[in-house]
Amino acid sequence: MNLRDLSIGTKLILAITVVMVGVSTAGSIIIYTYQKRSLDEQILERSRTISELLIQIEDHKLISRVAAEFTKVTGYRLKQTSLEPVNPANAPDDFERKIMEMFKQKNITEYYAVVASSGGKRHFRYMRALRTKEQCISCHPGYSIGELRGSISVVAPYEDIAAAARKNLVYILATLQILTFSIIAVLYSLSRKIVSKPLKELIKEVEGSAKEIQRGEEVKDISVRSNDEIGMLASAFNNLRKSLSESFKRKNEAIESFVYSISHDLKAPLRSIEGFSTALLEDYGDRLEGEAKHYLDRVIASAQKMGVLIDELLEYSRIGRIDLARGDVNIAEVVALALEDSIYEINKKNAKIKISENLPVIKNAEKQRIYQIFTNLISNALKYNDKEVPEIEIGYRDEGDHYLFYVRDNGIGFDMRYHDKIFEIFQRLHREDEYGGTGVGLAMVKKIVETYGGRIWAESKPGEGSTFYFTLPKEVKSG
Amino acid sequence: MNMVRAIDILLVEDSQDDIELTLRAFKKNNLGNRVHIARDGAEALEFLKRVERREIPHPGLILLDLKLPKVDGIEVLKYIKSKEILKRIPVVMLTTSKNDRDIKTCYDLGANSYIVKPISFKDFMETVKNIQLYWIVTNQPPVVG
């Protein structure tokens, strides 16, 4: 798993967990060490005090009693020992002997250490050197001042204290970790509330408006719910979208004026070519010999065709870019208009037209565009038809949120291999002298249908006619 | 039908092609109007000032392009409509501009008609013919005084 794939909340919690666990562990260890040291100091202080006290007592019997009493109260064993003991009970053990040797060599008063005994148990051991003092000389002549007489040895149980400290450590650790995890839990729910949830909502809204933009719908501002960074992000997104849409609008206007002036500037010379060729033909036609007249006709025809081509390209470039008047479009009315357009062809070819009854109404559509769909498909159905009686059938089917329309003919059809090609701009399946045209019609139909969120396709067999299908939503989304 | 009045036409147009095609259309309609040509706004103003000084006869119709070298068609229109002697001459804007603002401005300034030059030759010929028939034959202008 990659750290980058985690959500911000999880990352935060992970970081906080690591820091908190580290801090609480370090804290526990520090507290433990401090506690242990103060316990050690306490034992040392006790040992030192009792030793000091014993030294001050001159009555030997009293010493034994005080020691016994102290042992009873504290559990510390007290012992007087010497390198040359008079009483065998006072004979030193290995540790005591070693320390006393040291006392003898160096002028130190006390020594302490934690020592493990043969049984494996640890003891705090304290040794206090007993040296000859001035007042001793009176009773023990022959001693010299400062000479080591022996030691007071204190053996304090240490195991219990260490165990207590360890137990303490466990308590501290447990308390701190519980605290840590409850803080993390609180932070987690807070981070969800403060960071994750608003961020997720923001992401959802942004994705929603991305979809609206993609579908060409009107985009509402994203709600700014707070004045923090997330709120700022939402406003920043709104500003970004606004400036993008403004720049898109400006670009679109620039394209439109460019396309318009291009088409105008391209067509103005065409008017002259056609005009002067016509003038030449009209004024000097009878003086032109051989092919000359025919050539002039070709010039005029080409100029006219280029004019049509420029118009169609201009129109093609405007689909989906320039919003025409919208409203309820009655398909029956549009089909009638489109047939009116082809009335000359229909009469000439003696074509039979069959139209479904109750053709529906498309809401919020551009009548001009819907008309362009039908007029192109109908004129194609007539054009690519060499039957004695061309038949054209126009119908539809209700498919829930959209209608499926079809324009069927009994014309020359086409090989389904070329299915995608016929919808491409400037792609034609026939030579121009067979069937005239610019190759823009079906591309334009496809672009309109797709701009409205529909689909278009055809089914055909050479010689058996074609059916063009397309879908249109019952209500077109505003763009 | 009204009598064909022998009035002069002022054509303000910078494109030589358009001038020749317009003249040809006039000639084909055979109405016998004299056509004065101004190739830019400055020439048009020059002509109009001479009309004001009564050095040349008053034109009965002005065909005015918008995008003109030197002085813009709008300026020429403003001038015409601001002068007592000129302001009743019918001014037909004949231009390539389909711009809504241009159209509004022209009507606000008192243009009598606004026509977008048809791009096809046939339509252009037809339009020129219609202009001539309507403004010279059908339309009744005030008596020039």
Query: How far apart are alpha carbons A91 and A158 in whole angstroms?
Result: 23
Dist. CA A186–CA A180, nearest whole Å? 10
Per-residue model confidence (pLDDT) at position A479: 58
* Residue of B14, B94, B120, B127 to mutate when probing chain A, most A C-beta within 10 A: B120
CA A479 centroid distance within chain: 29
In the structure encoding, which two tokens stand for residue A310, read together? 């420029």
Residues of B in contact with A276 (CB under 8 A): 17, 20-21
**pLDDT at residue A216 greater than cutoff 70:** no
Q: Which residue is associated with the tokens 């014993």?
A: A54
CB contacts of A270 in chain B (<8 Å) are 119, 121
Angle between helices A229-284 and A197-215 (to 10 degrees): 10
User: Where are the extended beta strands (E) located within A278-423?
Assistant: 326-330, 352-355, 361-366, 391-399, 402-409
Distances (CA, A) of A47 to A36, A41, A75, A129: 17, 10, 12, 13
Q: Which residue of B has its CA nearest to A308?
A: B120
Of A260, A264, A278, the CB nearest to B121: A278
How far, in Å, CA of A359 to CA of B62, rounded? 51
Query: How close B13 comes to chain A (CA, Å)?
Result: 14
Question: In A192-291, where does DSSP find H-type helix?
Answer: 197-215, 229-284
Q: Which H or E run includes A2?
A: none
Q: What is the mean pLDDT of chain A?
A: 86
CA distance A18 to A192: 19
CB contact under 8 A, A307 and B119: yes
How many angstroms away from the CA of B73 is the closest CA of chain A? Answer: 18
User: How far is it between the farthest Cα atoms of chain B?
Assistant: 40
Distance from CA of B107 to the nearest CA of A (A): 22
Interhelix angle B121-132/A229-284, nearest 10 degrees:
80
pLDDT at A25 over 90: no
Best mutation target among B29, B119, B128, B129 (most A Cβ atoms within 10 Å) is: B119
For residues A93 and A84, give the distance between their C-alpha atoms in angstroms, rounded to a whole number: 12
Q: Does the structure show a pLDDT above 90 at B111?
A: yes
Shortest distance, CA A466 to any CA of chain B (angstroms): 34
pLDDT (average), residues A407-427: 90
A313 neighbourhood in chain B, CB within 8 Å: none
CA of B45 to nearest chain A CA: how many angstroms apart? 26
Per-residue pLDDT band at A33 (split at 50, 70, 90)? confident
Distance CA(A236)–CA(A224), nearest Å, equals 10
For residues A153 and A81, is the Cβ–Cβ distance under 8 A?
yes
Could you tell me if residue A426 is left (phi over 0), alpha (psi between -120 and 50 degrees) or otherwise beta?
left
Angstroms from B119 CA to nearest CA on chain A: 6
Residue in chain A closest to B27 (alpha carbons) equals A279
Give the model confidence (pLDDT) of A162-213 as tens digits: 777 778 778 888 888 888 888 888 888 887 888 788 888 888 888 888 887 7
Q: How many CB atoms lie within 10 A of CB B105?
A: 17
In percent, the amount of chain B with pLDDT more than 70 equals: 95
| CB contact (8 A) between residue B17 and residue A264 | no
Q: What is the ipTM of this complex?
A: 0.76
How many interchain CB pairs under 8 A, A with B? 38
**Phi/psi of residue A151, each to 5°?**
-145, 155
* pLDDT tens track for A224-237: 778 888 888 888 88
The C-alpha of A272 sits at a distance from chain B's nearest C-alpha, in angstroms, of 6
Residue A385: enclosing H or E segment and its boundaries? none
SS3 B110: coil
Q: What percent of chain A has pLDDT over 90?
A: 25
Residue whose pair of structure tokens reads 């004299």 in the numeric block: B34
Percent of chain A with pLDDT over 70: 97
Which H or E run contains A473?
A: strand A465-473
Nearest alpha-carbon partner for A404 in A473, A344, A331: A473
Q: Within chain A, how many helices (H) and strands (E) appear? A: 12, 11
Using the beta-carbon criterion (under 8 Å), do A267 and B119 form an inter-chain contact? yes
Q: Which residues of B touch A269 (CB under 8 A)?
A: 17
Question: In the prediction, which pLDDT does B3 show?
Answer: 54
Test the B interface: residue of A271, A302, A306 with most B CBs within 10 Å = A271
A359 Cβ partners below 8 Å, 6+ apart?
A: A330, A331, A332, A335, A394, A396
Specify which of A186-200, A423-437, B129-143 reaches the highest per-range mean pLDDT: B129-143
Cα(A374)–Cα(A394) distance, integer angstroms: 9
Question: What pLDDT, in 10s, does the model give residues B49-103?
Answer: 999 999 988 899 999 999 888 889 999 999 999 999 999 999 999 998 888 889 9
* Nearest Cα to Cα of residue B72 among B28, B26, B12: B12
Q: What is the mean pLDDT of residues A46-70?
A: 83
* pLDDT tens, position by position, A296-313: 988 988 888 888 888 888
pLDDT for position B109: 96
* pLDDT score of B4 more than 60: no
The answer to whether residue A8 scores a pLDDT higher than 80 is no
Confidence band of B1 (pLDDT split at 50, 70, 90): very low
CB contact under 8 Å between A307 and B17, yes or no, is: no
Q: What is the mean pLDDT of residues A96-118?
A: 87
Indicate yes or no: CB of A272 within 8 angstroms of CB of B120: no
CB contact under 8 A, A264 and B96: yes
Query: Between chains, do B17 and A270 touch, taking CB under 8 Å as contact?
Result: no
Half-sphere exposure in the Cβ direction for A221 (13 Å, CA): 12
For the domain made up of B8-137, give the CATH fold.
Answer: Rossmann fold (3.40.50)
Which domains, ranges and CATH numbers included, belong to chain A? 3-164 (3.30.450.20), 223-318 (1.10.287), 325-473 (3.30.565.10)
Which residues in chain A are closer than 8 Å to B98, comparing Cβ atoms?
260
CA distance A354 to A408: 10
Beta bridge partners of B113: B92
Count helices and strands (H / E) in chain B.
5, 5
Mean pLDDT of chain B: 88
Q: Identify the contact set of chain A against chain B, taking CB-CB distances under 8 A.
A: 260, 264, 267-272, 274-276, 278-279, 303-304, 307
The angle at the Cα of A387, spanning A385 to A391, to the nearest 5 degrees, equals 75
Q: Which of A34-38, A139-143, A202-206, A404-408 has the highest mean pLDDT?
A: A404-408
Tell me if residue A50 falls in helix, strand or coil: helix
Residues B73/B43, Cβ–Cβ less than 8 Å:
no
